[in-house]
Amino acid sequence: MKQKYWIIVASKDHVESGLAEGIAQACHGKATSLKQMQKDDMVLFYSGKMTLGKPDKCQEFTAIGKVKDDELFQVEISPNFRPFRRRISFIPSTEVSILPLINDLDFIENKKYWGYPFRFGFFEIKQHDFDLISTKMLQQTHV
């Protein structure tokens, strides 16, 4: 199976929780999106907001990782909320603003309305876009 590249959209606070737990959750815990991922696929996390439900903007790619296995699992947060998750091997990286990258990203067709693709919460991107973003995130900062 050919390696694929994905973006999961989540508030920065939720991405940080996922980093701590080594997991990804997408689209309010629905299984549909996560089922599309295969072991060794690469995932970028984009955070439009700092905190879920609050207006403070983030507009950064906040984490990068690789899908660990082909297992989808479910956890019980409450009796009414049992989200599906995937195990992710996160790669140490720095957060990167999307703003200077917009014109070079192929998945953003309309540069004026660049936020549109993120409304879906989960989507596949081409390797070119993944490489562009991940290279910026993985650059070492020298003092």
Q: Are 68 and 88 in contact (CB under 8 A)?
A: yes
Sequence-distant (6+) residues with CB within 8 A of 76 are 82
Structure tokens at 57: 């903007």
* pLDDT, tens digit (0-9, with 9 covering 90-100), for 10-51: 999 999 999 999 999 999 899 999 999 999 999 999 999 999
Confidence of residue 105 (pLDDT cuts 50, 70, 90): very high
Q: What is the pLDDT of residues 84-97, one digit of tens each?
A: 999 999 999 999 99
pLDDT of 140: 62
5-138 belongs to which homologous superfamily?
Answer: ph1033 like domains (3.10.590.10)
Q: What's the one-letter identity of residue 100?
A: P
Give the pair of three-digit tokens for residue 88: 């992710």
What pTM, to 2 d.p., does this model score?
0.94
Does the pLDDT at position 142 exceed 60? no
**Per-residue confidence (pLDDT) for residue 64, from 0 to 100:** 97
pLDDT score, position 1:
76
